Copies of this chain bind each other. A is one copy, B any other.
Amino acid sequence: MHESSFTSIDDLTDRQVMDILQLAEEYERDGSSYAGKGRGLIMGSLFLEPSTRTRGSFESAMLRLGGGVISVTDAATSSIKKGETLADTARIWSGYCDLIVLRHPWEGTAKAVSDFADVPVINAGDGGNEHPTQTLVDLFTLKKEYGKLDGLSMAICGDLRKNRAVHSLIYALLRFGVDSYLIAPRGSELPDHIRSRIRRVHGVDAQSEKVGPFASLFRADPPVGAGAAIPEQQEINLDALYVTNTESHQLTLLSRPGKRSSRSLTGNERFTLYLTRRQQERERPGEDSSAFYLRVTKDVLRRPTFKQAIVMHPLPRVDEIAREVDEDPRSRYFKQARYGVPVRQALVALITGREKWSSPSERVGVRKSALGIGGMACANEMCVSTREPASASRKFTLDQVDGVSELECRYCGKECTAAASCFRRGVHGVVYHPISKITKADIEGERELFVYATVKEAREDGLEPSASYAEPSVESIRK
């Protein structure tokens, strides 16, 4: 396993993120500053899911640094289709290149591959999970514009459920003190496991309106029916409006909530979604007539909230941003796309050791202790540990929040809410315990653990409840 893989935005310390942004700024300003920095390096550009933008951006970055690229652009022509495991792919490509850039449809794949690779692995998108280099580009765009991140305010609007770029971005904004407002059509809100992770890691309760440095507005119920109302007491001067598409790049912001909101407008909202006319021609007979279509247009940008907000988008867009906005001086999405090259140049140069981190003792991608457990598997069907257990054995990280232990899949980051009980061999014998009794010390000791999704399964395995299992709350709560 190589110690410098970048599979999640969490793999970088704040200082490392700042190193990348600063180096990217230098590279962007002065083409001679990076000349020859990648000479002799080879990037394995493994895009096992369609992409041209991200791949083009990475390959351009490597070529500009003076290095070479080997491209694999289609899983259909690759040995991955022949039954080769990700683990074998990782080992073999470690011999062909100095750096693996990986896009893959399964969640957590970059992490699994980095476990077996001898060269750094960069996650260029793993299913619906993360797209952390996009996040670096987004942060760079903000910093380039405002010279800072702390104290900025940004609205993120669109499909927040499946868009991996948004998930990485939200984690990063929390860390760098950017106030975020999240607006999504009903059904496209931020998924529970992301909200839960935000709560655990950043102490921000996604239900409250302003906690710590991060003010979120989870107003999806109903943020959009006739408009999203920002609470009156909040003065919003947005610095940036971030519009997203869906993870799969399909038509995205088209969503049809069950019912039109009956909530009335307050009259002094400054942050309102623009609703275009009903797309009746797209509806089938009998469909709910409250369907709406979210779009950013010149009209939308006339509202005071957006007066000074730059407009960002990870691209490709479909039509969530009207073409007339392209000419607006606040549009930044094409610039943002171009910033992808210097940012990825900086990342590649630093991660391959051709440039130095400001604090060399900090490693990239330090792993959290993870439980290797028996019994329970990640419940996420798209998780690499579900799809290919040979390359990603069941591992979880453990957090204890308010005395309650929670397991999070080490690969895809999904919470394993069904972890009802567990059992530690040799210490407690053949009894099962509440999950809440597991501690980080247990993990660091790497004791052998079995976790069951339900008490029923533990019993079928011949186990009896421990004394501590008297707590009926756990059993009832967790089924």
Using a CB–CB distance below 8 Å, which chain A residues touch chain B?
Answer: 35, 40, 42, 44, 47, 50-53, 55-57, 59-60, 63-64, 68-74, 76-84, 87-88, 91-97, 249-251, 315-318, 323, 334, 337-338, 340-341, 390
Contacts A42-B60, A60-B70, A77-B74 known; A91 to B316 CB distance under 8 Å?
A: no
Q: Is the CB of A316 within 8 A of B83?
A: yes
With both chains docked as a complex, state the minimum distance between the C-beta of A101 and any C-beta of chain B, in angstroms: 13
**How far apart sit A60 and B83, CA to CA, in the bound complex (Å)?**
23
Tell me which of B50, B87, B97, B315 contacts A92 (CB under 8 A). Answer: B315
**How far apart sit A251 and B81, CA to CA, in the bound complex (Å)?**
12
Using Cβ atoms and an 8 Å threshold, which residues of chain B touch A338?
A: 92, 94-96
| Complex A-B: 17 CB contacts under 8 Å | A35-B40, A40-B64, A42-B64, A51-B77, A53-B92, A60-B95, A73-B74, A73-B77, A79-B249, A79-B316, A82-B250, A82-B316, A87-B323, A88-B316, A88-B334, A95-B340, A95-B341
**How far apart sit A91 and B47, CA to CA, in the bound complex (Å)?**
22
Using Cβ atoms and an 8 Å threshold, which residues of chain B touch A82?
A: 50, 249-250, 316, 318
Q: Is the CB of B50 within 8 A of A72?
A: no
With both chains docked as a complex, state the minimum distance between the C-beta of A63 and any C-beta of chain B, in angstroms: 4
Using Cβ atoms and an 8 Å threshold, which residues of chain B touch A72?
A: 52, 56
With both chains docked as a complex, state the minimum distance between the C-beta of A243 and any C-beta of chain B, in angstroms: 14
Contacts A88-B316, A315-B88 known; A70 to B63 CB distance under 8 Å?
A: yes
Beyond A82-B318, A95-B337, list 14 extra A-B contacts (CB 8 Å): A42-B60, A50-B78, A50-B82, A56-B93, A56-B97, A63-B68, A74-B74, A74-B76, A79-B249, A92-B337, A94-B338, A95-B340, A95-B341, A323-B390
